[in-house]
Amino acid sequence: MKKMNDYKFWFVVGSQFLYGPEVLETVASRAQEMADTLNKSGKLPCEIVYKVTAKTPEEITNVVKEANYDDSCAGIITWMHTFSPSKMWLNGLKLLQKPYCHLATQYNKSIPNKEIDMDFMNLNQAAHGDREHGFIAARLRIPRKIIAGYWKDAKVQKRLGDWMRVCVGVAFSKELKVMRFDDNMRNVAVTEGDKVGVQEVLGWQVNTWPVGQLVEYIEDVSEDEVDEKIKEYKKAYKFNTKNMDAVRYQAKEEIAIKRMLDEEGCMAFTNTFEDLYGMEQLPGLASQRLMEQGYGYGGEGDWKVSAMTAIIKAMSEGQSGGSSFMEDYTYELDEKGQFSLGAHMLEVCPSIASKQPQIEVHPLGIGGKSDPARLVFEGRAGKAIVVTLVGMGGRLRMIVQDIEAVKPIYSMPNLPVARVMWKAMPDLATGVECWIMAGGAHHTTLTYDVSAEQMHDFARIMGIEFVHIDKDTTPEKLEKELFCNDLAYKLKAN
Ligand code: MN
């Protein structure tokens, strides 16, 4: 899979011949200067490549066709320094298959009060050109990101960078392969789904591999390889167990699962405690380690959350907050402070740990296997979101809730798993009512790095329903929104 900085974004500037060659030369040189300055800002995760100051329909159509077929191009950014009649854009935009951002900015920050004359107005008419450009995309119903503001402002650059990360997530999604070991947990509804439908919309190739093959791979791991892994563990974690056999078995599982994933080009996987046939332990530490390396994971066969976790990790490459597979477990309902406690049987990613995780070995209580080694830690405090994707029958709904993670209010010395405690927005009871009303799953991806705005951008590019539960959400408003969404998607389907 490509990394973040393997991707480029093409900067396409609109104009026309009306203004004469001098103005067009100035536009082109300023566009190059803007691309160079933005690239040097350190705010963008990928390079911007200035492509063309387009003056004809042919130039626009050609650059769109090239963008569609260039695998390293993750999106196009358009900007109208001057007025670019947008019927010239119509045919090209109809062919566009890459994410598209309309950067509504202008070269100069301020109006030069004394010097301003008609020459200045001819050259600097972004306000004019951006409206014409905005109309055609609205008329064609093309999903696009609109970012308005001065191009040197930190906030504008941050939003552009965040959107670029989303586009890398989109490119990653379209190539993503998910490896499933056995099926979903028996009788569970929300983790099921239409794999053909999801591949059509999001690109994921979700397929199954035998648990027996994984067992063979585990048995083939050499003791030397395990010794190397144990050295890595000793550097990264504290050992709070004497049961080295259990830890060594998890090392074998980590090596074996990674080997199978890499051989098949898969960046996400699932398993289920209901089928560990031939395995000694449920992979705990192993799954945690693989998530830390950027692989998606979903428990109980949940391939949707596994894929979303992998995508969110790809979007946030190089950021430090962390993202993990998560599950809503239990509530603190004391009126002085109400919280959700999230955890999983074992598999929470150490990228969200507040301090150095400890390796511990404890009985699992279900699955009937040996005591698995796992990393135990508390998640860090801070603003985050939880993301879920559910199949609504013929369409996908993404639900995002704003949360604020806190330091767990109890020490919980007998809880032998990694855990995070958070306040759900707008408050626990309303947040839970809204989440349940929308059909949100018990499995989510929790991320400190990726924002709700970014997940909204992802959903818009992919054409899936997006529901955001934030500080202003009320059950009444949400009920109406869901009702309208149902109608809209029914109309779309016909
Ligand atoms: Mn679960």
Ligand 1 geometric centre to CA of 272 (Å): 9
Q: How far from each other are the two terminal CA atoms of the chain, in whole angstroms?
A: 37
Q: In this predicted model, what pLDDT tens digit does every residue of 257-305 receive, in sequence order?
A: 999 999 999 999 999 999 999 999 999 999 999 999 999 999 999 999 9
pLDDT band for 493, please (50, 70, 90 cuts): confident
d(CA 402, ligand 1 centre) in Å: 21
**What separation in Å is there between the alpha carbon of 373 and the centre of ligand 1?**
18
Model pLDDT, residue 473:
98
Query: What's the CA gap between 472 and 469, in Å, rounded?
Result: 8
For residues 207-212, give the mean pLDDT: 98
User: HSE of 12 in the Cβ direction (CA atoms, 13 Å)?
Assistant: 30
Q: What is the mean pLDDT of residues 136-146?
A: 97
CA 187 to ligand 1 centroid distance, Å: 13
Rounded to 5 degrees, φ, ψ at 394 are 85, -10
* One-letter amino acid for residue 434 of the chain: C
**Cα(344) to centroid of ligand 1, in Å?**
6
Least reliable range by pLDDT among 78-87, 283-292, 471-480: 78-87
Report d(CA 418, CA 415) in Å as an integer. 8
Task: Compute the distance from residue 233 Cα to the ligand 1 centre, in Å.
Answer: 25
DSSP class of 353: B
9-41 pLDDT tens trace:
999 999 999 988 999 999 999 999 999 999 999
SS (H, E, C) 259-321: HHHHHHCCCEEECCCCCCCCCCCCCCHHHHHHHHCCCEEEHHHCHHHHHHHHHHHHHCCCCCC
| Pairwise CA distance, residues 139 & 430, whole Å | 37
pTM of the model: 0.97
- Average pLDDT on 377-387 reads 97
Query: What is the crossing angle of helices 57-69 and 87-95, to 10°?
Result: 20
**Residue 228 vs residue 364, higher pLDDT:** 228
Q: Angle at Cα 235 formed by Cα 234 and Cα 236, nearest 5°?
A: 95
Instruction: Compute, in angstroms, the gap from residue 185 CA to the centroid of ligand 1.
Output: 9
Please tell me the distance between residue 223's alpha carbon and the centre of ligand 1 in angstroms: 32
Residue 461 above 90 pLDDT?
yes
pLDDT on residue 286: 98
Provide the mean pLDDT of the chain.
96
Q: How far is the CA of 306 from the centre of ligand 1 (A)?
A: 11
Give whole-number Cα distances, 368 to 115, 282, 372, in Å: 81, 9, 11
Instruction: Determine how many CB atoms are found less than 10 A away from the CB of residue 40.
Output: 9
Q: How far is CA 184 from the centre of its chain?
A: 23
In sequence order, what E strands does 116-221 have? 145-148, 177-181, 205-209
Average pLDDT of the residues in 315-329: 96
Give which of 208, 214, 212 is closest to 180, Cα–Cα. Answer: 208
Q: How far is the CA of 47 from the centre of ligand 1 (A)?
A: 39
Please tell me the distance between residue 144's alpha carbon and the centre of ligand 1 in angstroms.
35
State mean pLDDT over 461-484: 98
DSSP string of 120-146, one letter each residue? HHHH--HHHHHHHHHHHHHHTT---EE
pLDDT tens per residue across span 157-207: 999 999 999 999 999 999 999 999 999 999 999 999 999 999 999 999 999
Asked if residue 69 has pLDDT above 90, the reply is yes
CA of 443 relative to ligand 1 center, distance in Å: 6
pLDDT digits (tens, 9 = 90+) for 110-133: 999 899 999 898 888 889 999 999
Give the span between the Cα atoms of 444 and 351, in whole angstroms: 16
CA of 458 to the centre of ligand 1 (A): 25
Residues 327-370: tens digit of each pLDDT = 999 999 999 999 999 999 899 999 999 999 999 999 988 777 89
CA distance 347 to 165: 26
